[in-house]
Structure 1
Amino acid sequence: MTTQETGVQPQSGAMSLEELLSLPATVNVTTAGRALGIGRDKAYELIREGRFPVRTLPLGGTVRVPTAELWKILGVEGARV
């Protein structure tokens, strides 16, 4: 559903359901943080502390986050058709 269909505006900077469902298989930490409603710095802080709410994939000098795990924690698991 789009913002027009639901009549609900996402919070400033927050990701809409439509955006969330269109994400690729993995995303960067900034995008994952946005999906969770937290900033980039806070997301990296949580990763360093081992407290990020989903599994992360360290790949060389970058970190990726599995989108399916974001969907699950946000309660949109299986919503993609």
Structure 2
Amino acid sequence: MTSEEEPTVQAAMDPLDDLVLAVRGDQDGESPDYELPPSVTLDQASEILGLTTEDSRRMQKDGTFPVPVIPIGSTRRVGTAPLIRTVGLTRVRKALRYRG
């Protein structure tokens, strides 16, 4: 994928039947360039956005967090697609690389 291409992001299932975001740079390609989780924790989103934990929690409570926050029980999640739109695909992809 070149820097001029706009990636497409679609929901897909990985080989283990987990929901992922399939990111494709080539509109005609069959397989995704890479896959990302559909959402991340509030702490992961804060790191991607360059916010401290304290600032992000305050902003989330005030309703001023830069991207929509999804409450799930007592936890808070942030959609990966809004993060991509806010800070760019490269930054999100680097932050979410699996360590192993």
By the TM > 0.5 criterion, same fold?
yes
Structure 1 consecutive aligned stretches of length 4 or more whose deviation exceeds 6 Å: none
| RMSD of Structure 2 on Structure 1 (CA) | 2.2
Q: Which has the higher helix share?
A: 1
Larger Rg: 2
Consecutive unaligned residues of structure 2, counting only runs of 5 or more, are 1-33, 94-100
**Structure with the greater relative contact order (CA < 8 A, sep ≥ 6): 1 or 2?**
1
Q: Which has the higher strand share?
A: 2
Aligned residues: 58
Structure-1-length-normalised TM-score: 0.63
Percent of aligned pairs with the same amino acid: 34
- 1:48 matches 2:68: no
Please give the per-residue CA displacement for 1:14-59, whole angstroms capped at 9, x wherever unaligned.
xxxxxxx864111111100000001111111000000001011001
Consecutive unaligned residues of structure 1, counting only runs of 5 or more, are 1-20
Q: Within 2, Cα distance between the matches of 1:50 and 1:64?
A: 14
